[in-house]
Every structure is written in structure tokens, then in C-alpha cells.
Amino acid sequence: MKFILSGLGNWYSGWSLTDQAVQLADKLGFWGAVIPDHYMWAEAYGQSQKDSTLESWIALTYLAAKTQKIKLGTIVTPIPFRPPAMLAKMVATMDVLSSGRAILGVGAGWSQTEFEGYSTWDDSKTRVDKTQEGVELILQLWQKPQVDFKGKYYHAKGAILDPKPVQKPHPPLMFGGVGTRMLRLAGFMGDFAFAFWMLGNDPKRAKQSEEEGYGLTLGSRAAQWSHSNRERIARALLS
């Protein structure tokens, strides 16, 4: 079993705790550590300085320089928030500089306030459509010498991403979300998923989500998950 440290933030006011906790997790042998990827937190968690945040991928590169073995990523990155081709380059650069320790958290986004401030807010169906198409483009850029891509939302002509990520075939994808389509995407495209914190301790809801999403993903590379709190593979809190 592999443990990933979460429960931290990318708030500026609490960064020293995140910095110290991730370095300690590295020394204790945690497999990974993940931080949120938000510029604005809207109404979340009652933080007094909720919109005073650090750019998560830059912060993760800093953490990579302070650690040795622990994998580092987001929980999760809203794929429609940034141009996915540029995100692919950012994550690939971090993977190279960290000697193969990047994790890309994949989500569709939930904060309308954040998207309206920095990007474009769409309905949930469109955001999931953009997430799927964006991940397809990212994977091509990570694996192909040159990419020509013409999707509904994203395009690339003669795009070359070099150097490629160190991890092969690509850095792991950790999906977040409990909607039917996101669970299916997690099964078909992801390496593992983080859905338990939203499912809570409701076995009926978890079973329903499995039947609607995960249970339909034949050939999935995503990790099998249990309804038991003790077997949550995508979350471990450092105390």
C-alpha cells in the first residue's frame, strides 16, 4: 500500500506548515504528497485570507528541490482552468527537474468564482468535455515527438514538447470527482482516483458510484478501491 499526504493547502498564510509537512513526509517514506490547485477559494473553508494563494505548480517545483524521493502533485488541477498544452509543459518540466516525481491531479473544476476571475466558466458538461479533451492532448504531448491536434476546444499544430517527462509512459494521473463521467474517465485514463472524501462513509453511495462509473471501466489502470476507511489509497494525513 502506498500513502499520499493530503489535507494541506496552498494558502500563503499557511505555507510554512505545508513546506515542513512535505519535507517530513519525504523523510518518513510517504509515496507522495499533494496540494490543492486553486487561485481563489470562493467560500471554501472559512479561511480569512482564502484568496491569498501560491501558484501550486511553482510551489511544487520548490518542494521538489527540498525533497529527495516523494512524488509531488495536485489534488486536483482543474484541467479547463489553463491551456492544457501549457500545463503539459509545466508538469513535464517539473518531472524532469525532480527526476521523475510529478503527479498530475485531474479534475473538471468547481469554483465559479475562480474561473470567472482567471479563466472561463462553463456548465458542468462542458467542463468535463474539456477535461477529457485536455487530458488527451496532454498525453499526446508527453508521448509523441510532434503533435497535431484538432479538438472541439483545443488545438495544436506541430507542437513539440521536449524534454519529455522522465516517468514512462507518463506521469501518473490522479482523478478527483464522483460524477459518473469523471469516474469513467478515471477508469479509462487514470492511474488512481481520489473520490472517498466526497463519498464519505456511505457504502450505498459508494456502491452506486462504482456501478455507474468505476464498474464499467474494463481494462482500467486505476487502482481498485475499497469502501473501508482503512484502505483509502489516495489519502493519508500526517499527524
Q: For the chain, give the mean pLDDT.
A: 84
* pLDDT over 90 (residue 237): no
Highest mean pLDDT among 152-156, 207-211, 214-218: 152-156
pLDDT tier for residue 202 given thresholds of 50, 70 and 90: low
Distances from the Cα of 232 to the Cαs of 30, 61, 74, 116, 192, in angstroms? 14, 26, 17, 33, 11
d(CA 153, CA 133): 8
* pLDDT over 60 (residue 5): yes
Task: Give the residue carrying C-alpha cell 472524501.
Answer: 197
- Return the pLDDT at 220: 30
pLDDT digits (tens, 9 = 90+) for 157-180: 999 999 999 999 999 999 998 788
pLDDT digits (tens, 9 = 90+) for 84-136: 999 999 999 999 999 999 999 999 999 899 999 999 999 999 999 999 999 99
Which helix (H) or strand (E) segment holds residue 78: the answer is strand 77-78
pLDDT digits (tens, 9 = 90+) for 138-152: 999 999 999 999 999
pLDDT digits (tens, 9 = 90+) for 63-87: 999 999 999 999 999 999 999 999 9
Task: Give the residue carrying C-alpha cell 484541467.
Answer: 79
55-59's contacts with Cβ under 8 Å and 24+ in sequence apart are 56/10, 57/90, 57/91, 57/94, 59/10, 59/15, 59/18, 59/35
- Return the pLDDT at 47: 60
- Return the pLDDT at 41: 82
- What mean pLDDT comes out for the span 189-204? 67
Ordered domains of the chain (ranges, CATH): 4-176 (3.20.20.30)
